[in-house]
Structure 1
Amino acid sequence: MICMTTDSGANMVKALDLNAWTRLQCFGHRLHLAIEKSAKDPRVDRTVSILKKMVSAFSFSWKKKRELARLQTEMKLPPHKLITDSPTRWGSKLAMIERVLEQEKAISEILKADKKTRCLVPGYNEKDVMESVVKALGPLRDFTDALSGEDYVSVSYVKPVLHLFKEHLLKADDDDTDLSGEMKMTILNYLTDKYKDPKTENCWIWLHLLIQGSK
């Protein structure tokens, strides 16, 4: 039995199909796709759009940066810079949202003082969306990098991680908002569907035995 871990490149998929080899897609990449799918929601899109404009307003204004630094000291907030979203890394979206929530008081005061940027002050709806995204995605932060490393073998951890997601991290709870619950369900359903193939299951068993036997 031959098994390879690859990305979703058409040439790689075709090569393995032609040789009848089992393909295990990079878990980090699949998790990224699952999370991006869960974030394709009008509420999230609107909020992220506002936040990106907000971050840009600070990025291109030394006065706003100076005022942010002053208010951070005055309000005893961490002296952190704002973070912008990168479309290739879902973690940057989460980091941007968390940073805005952290600096919300200072940011709002600065934006309200300028009539051109008052429209960028997050309202209750945007804040609810941000908190929902953090609740759904925060616990998954470290798994993308940890399970897509190139310098160590991580395939034997995938199945236990999926179980952890199902039974704990992505399990519905009473504190979920409608949005956070929907995002959790979307991620879990996507990953479950992608890893339900019997060949993949069989490959996991053999790989786990081989890795454990080599220790």
Structure 2
Amino acid sequence: MWTRLFCFGHCLHIAIERSMRDTRIDRPVGVCKKIVSVFLHSWKKQRTLKDAQAELGLPPHKLVTESPTRWGSRQKMIERILEQEKAITQVLAADRSTRHLVPTWQDIEVLDSVSKALGPLLDFTDALSSENYVTVSCLKPTLHLFNSELLQGKDEDTDLTRKIKSSILDYMNTKYGDQEVQELINMATILDPRFRTQYMSQEEILVIKARVVREAESLSAMPSDAGSSTPVMSSESTKEAQSASKRQRKSLGSFFKKPAAEMTTTLSETEKIEAELNNYLHGPLADGESNPLTWWKVHEVNFPNISRLVKKYLCVPATSTPSERVFSAAGNVVTCQRSLLKPATVNMLVFLTKNLKV
């Protein structure tokens, strides 16, 4: 279920593919593919395109090829075609054999509608595919942003743009609408000091707080490393330590320090965790650009029970992209020329590839 739940990029890619199943989109996208193919296989066309870009004052960008295995490549192809429309039209219209590929105003209108609907989603796909920072806790804020802003219909949107946004929004809400899925996402969100309960309703807050207390209590009841044997000091070292303690002068604070037995309270373990959770939730939100793991490393002393749950939930990636990158790294290590590598050697080389910083 974790793979089905947190592969956000794959879910978004499927939602986009489903929204593109419209007969109005087929011809403009097909024209884009043919245009890219013409310029890709002709160095003369590429040189002429550069001259046209310089003449029209357009950025000297190359056209983008759509790749079925790369998320958002179709949208990037469409955006580049729209950006270089004038230069492409000038080059294609000058050649009789490619004049029929000049996009019509209907094609441009459809491509512009698609770009307005899908353009803002690419940034989230790239951001959530990272493996260097926490991503799972960003799922609920991202879905909230989709529902409240990015995929909401606007007055200037065309009918096609509204249909694409509605299709994507319905699929994503259905995919992440399961109660168990929502609880897992809420657990990760509430443990992120950047969000906490910011994107939750009052009913969700009550349910998640009860679950946090219940899981934290169960983790605190687990045996720890406290039972490990402590080193036994020799008689000589004991005498030296006693003499050193006799020579050490007491500070002013030591007179007010009470024994641990006198500091015990009547609070139960559940009440302690509830108080700890309330203190955490009522604290100020961390900066949006900060690393939540760094924040918890600093504040682990203040929230020891809640920090155990952080290690359980915030380590989950939001997409399967990091694992796919590991498979790609393994494919670059095990080649036809290196097919006799032992499994242990392959594991070591892949580990060094992913973790060694040059």
Q: Calculate the TM-score normalised by the size of structure 1.
A: 0.85
Query: Is 1:191 matched with 2:172?
Result: yes
Residue-pair matches, total:
196
Query: Is 1:204 matched with 2:185?
Result: yes
Return the alpha-carbon distance in structure 2 between the equivalents of residues 111 and 157 of structure 1: 44
Cα distance, 1:208 vs structure 2: 2.8
Unaligned regions of 5+ residues in structure 1, if any? 9-23
Return the alpha-carbon distance in structure 2 between the equivalents of residues 110 and 149 of structure 1: 39
Amino acid across the alignment from 2:89? S
Amino acid across the alignment from 1:164? L
Return the alpha-carbon distance in structure 2 between the equivalents of residues 134 and 28 of structure 1: 18
Amino acid across the alignment from 1:97? I
Cα distance, 1:25 vs structure 2: 3.5
- Match of 2:21? 40
What are the residue-to-residue correspondences of 1:36-75 with 2, within 5 Å? 36-75=17-56
What does the per-residue CA deviation read over 1:76-120, in whole Å, with 9 as the maximum and x for residues that have no partner? Answer: 111111111112234211111111111111111111121211111
- Match of 2:2? 5
The 8 Å contact of residues 36 and 90 in structure 1, kept in 2 or not, is answered as no
Cα distance, 1:51 vs structure 2: 0.6
The 8 Å contact of residues 108 and 122 in structure 1, kept in 2 or not, is answered as yes
**SS of aligned partner of 2:10:** helix
What is the Cα-based RMSD across aligned positions, in Å? 1.6
What are the residue-to-residue correspondences of 1:1-215 with 2, within 5 Å? 5-6=2-3, 24-212=5-193, 213-214=306-307
Bigger radius of gyration? 2
Cα distance, 1:56 vs structure 2: 0.8
The 8 Å contact of residues 49 and 88 in structure 2, kept in 1 or not, is answered as yes
The 8 Å contact of residues 29 and 144 in structure 1, kept in 2 or not, is answered as no
The 8 Å contact of residues 63 and 77 in structure 2, kept in 1 or not, is answered as yes
**SS of aligned partner of 2:26:** helix
The 8 Å contact of residues 113 and 157 in structure 2, kept in 1 or not, is answered as yes
Amino acid across the alignment from 1:199? E
- Match of 1:18? none
Return the alpha-carbon distance in structure 2 between the equivalents of residues 104 and 36 of structure 1: 24
What does the per-residue CA deviation read over 1:37-76, in whole Å, with 9 as the maximum and x for residues that have no partner? Answer: 1112122221111111011111111211111111111111
What does the per-residue CA deviation read over 1:137-172, in whole Å, with 9 as the maximum and x for residues that have no partner? Answer: 111111112223334331211111111101100001
What does the per-residue CA deviation read over 1:163-215, in whole Å, with 9 as the maximum and x for residues that have no partner? Answer: 11011000011111111110000000000111111111121222334444438
**Share of identical aligned residues, percent?**
55
Amino acid across the alignment from 2:171? Y
**SS of aligned partner of 2:2:** strand
The 8 Å contact of residues 29 and 148 in structure 1, kept in 2 or not, is answered as no
Return the alpha-carbon distance in structure 1 between the equivalents of residues 42 and 190 of structure 2: 57
The 8 Å contact of residues 9 and 128 in structure 2, kept in 1 or not, is answered as yes
Cα distance, 1:26 vs structure 2: 0.9
